[in-house]
Amino acid sequence: MHSTTIIRNSILNIVGQGIPIALSLIALPILLKNYGADQLGILFLVWMLFGSFALLDFGVGKAATKYVAEAMGVGDRGAIAQIGWSAAWFQLGIGVIAGGIMALLSLAAAESFLTIPEYLRGDVQYAMLLASSAIPFVLLSSHFMGLLEAGQHFAALNLIRMIFSIASLAAPLLGAVIGLSFTGVLFWVMFTRAAQALMAFSIVLLLVPEMREVASFKMIRLRLLLQFGGWVSLISLLAFPLGQLDRLLITSLLGIHALTSYSIPFDIMMRVMIVSQGVAQAVFPIFSALNKSDPCRAADIHTRATRYLLIFLSGPVCFTAINAHYLLGLWLGPDYERASATVLQVLGVGVVFNSVSMVSYTSLLGKGRPDLIVKAHLCEGLPYCLAAFLGVRYWGVVGSAAAWTGRVVADALLLTYLNRQVNPEASHQAFGENRPVLQTLAVLISLALGIGLFTERGEPRRLVLSGITCVGFAIVAWRHLLESSDRRAVLSLLSLRHVTTW
């Protein structure tokens, strides 16, 4: 797999996720103005439900992506249709059953455990009924997009993602302009999910010709998918409480005001994670395809992906960390500068390690070892719970940030170790080839610490010195840390093939 393909697919994934996020930031104040906090809250509820429906597939969607990519890698074309259609029939069945159950529960939800004003209960029940009817479409859409991922058709996948992410925002915006009723807006939001599933299915038939022959349901294929998918579901179930623990502790021990001071820098850093998520999505089908056919090549891809993330993220994260007080003060004012800057700095360290762990995580999934990820999460769980509680209790939001960073550092080290156990040669190769990158990063971090210690927070020269340092790092990384094939790949994507002097 050429470097150009990995870089191009990663960029497509980042853009596909980044554009909808940027548009949502623009749309939010408009929606709030036109619908008010109550009705907008119902819309958020619907979007949240759509996002949570992915947990209903028992990990079969991710498993289908992995095994279809593996079948493509070894040229087993007959398995592609059997796996793809067995998973699709399963998703459809689960979607219909789950939708029916949720439809029945939704009638009681607004009356019982949801705190909703009387005048909004009809809208909430209608919204939940529509969301219930959308469950089969959401699951099928996710499955068919996973098949596009398996075939590395990332341009088509991200086109679908962007079209319908934008359509999901455009429906309420257009509804406000033309005076559509709020129930009408909810209907069109649901309709976009059905249209997304139909478009994904149509493009799969176009780009994955094996799926044009409808295959019967194969229990032996489903058993394989459920075996892998069960571990993936367990990963999600463990990751959810670990991911929410910090904010729950802050809310209960420090109050809702402290949660705001923590959530702002945390959300900023999570936005940075779309880079590592984009890279991980690009390399997952490659790891799966090469798992049996060429594990040494998979090790080389692992090395390159790790190197790309370390080089790409370290400079911007260091710059943000050094100037956190100034940047937050400029954006949100002095109150948030004092409360959130240190949190942003501590979380920045964690983001770099978490990005590296994403590659190791994806590599283990591609090798068919999600059980090792579950074991890693179980090892981290109790120490992290204790560290988070003590951190929040004695050091507030900074202690919570330190506990989170400590966990993701431990996670990165543990997943790297587990990768080495599965494939010792790959891990040794990755460490050896990335050693110059790690040494250069150590110099960058030392310079960053020096700038932070010997300049004042509001001093303009801190901004200038940190900028010069990061630009210098970028030049060194380009000339000495990237291989010639990597540089050619980047220049090719930028249509600068004639530029070879560096």
Q: State pLDDT tens for residues 249-293.
A: 887 788 767 777 787 788 778 888 888 888 888 888 888 888 777
**Higher-scoring residue by pLDDT: 501, 456:** 456
Give tens-digit pLDDT for 27-82: 666 666 666 656 666 666 676 666 666 677 788 888 888 888 888 877 777 788 88
pLDDT score of 381 more than 70: yes
Phi and psi at residue 465, to the nearest 5°: -65, -40
pLDDT of residue 386: 93
pLDDT of residue 341: 78
Give tens-digit pLDDT for 414-455: 888 888 777 765 555 555 566 677 777 777 777 776 776 566
Tally Cβ neighbours within 10 Å of residue 78.
11
DSSP 8-class letter at 114: S
Q: Are 174 and 192 in contact (CB under 8 A)?
A: no
Tally Cβ neighbours within 10 Å of residue 475.
11
What does the angle CA 238 – CA 243 – CA 248 come to, to the nearest 5 degrees? 115
Give me the helices (H) in 367-481, please. 370-422, 424-454, 460-476
DSSP 8-class letter at 215: P
Torsion angle (degrees, nearest 10) of CA 456, 458, 462, 467: 160
Give tens-digit pLDDT for 122-171: 666 777 777 778 888 888 888 898 899 888 888 888 888 888 888 877 77
Tally Cβ neighbours within 10 Å of residue 38.
13
Residues 10-37: what's their mean pLDDT?
72
pTM given for the model: 0.76
pLDDT of residue 332: 64
pLDDT of residue 500: 39
Q: Are 120 and 186 in contact (CB under 8 A)?
A: no
Percent of the chain residues topping a pLDDT of 70: 77
Instruction: Tell the residue number behind the tokens 């200038």, with chain if given.
Output: 464
Angle between helices 460-476 and 424-454 (to 10 degrees): 150
Give tens-digit pLDDT for 329-375: 766 666 666 667 788 888 888 888 888 888 888 888 888 888 888 88
Residue 500: strand, helix, or coil: coil
Q: Cα–Cα distance between 353 and 227 in angstroms, integer?
A: 29
Chain-wide mean pLDDT for the chain?
A: 78
pLDDT of residue 199: 92
pLDDT of residue 501: 37
Amino acid letter at 122? G
What does the angle CA 120 – CA 125 – CA 129 come to, to the nearest 5 degrees? 150
Q: Environment class of residue 432 by beta-carbon count within 10 Å: exposed (0-12), middle (13-18) or buried (19+)?
A: exposed
What does the angle CA 360 – CA 232 – CA 303 come to, to the nearest 5 degrees? 15
pLDDT of residue 18: 78
Q: Are 25 and 267 in contact (CB under 8 A)?
A: no
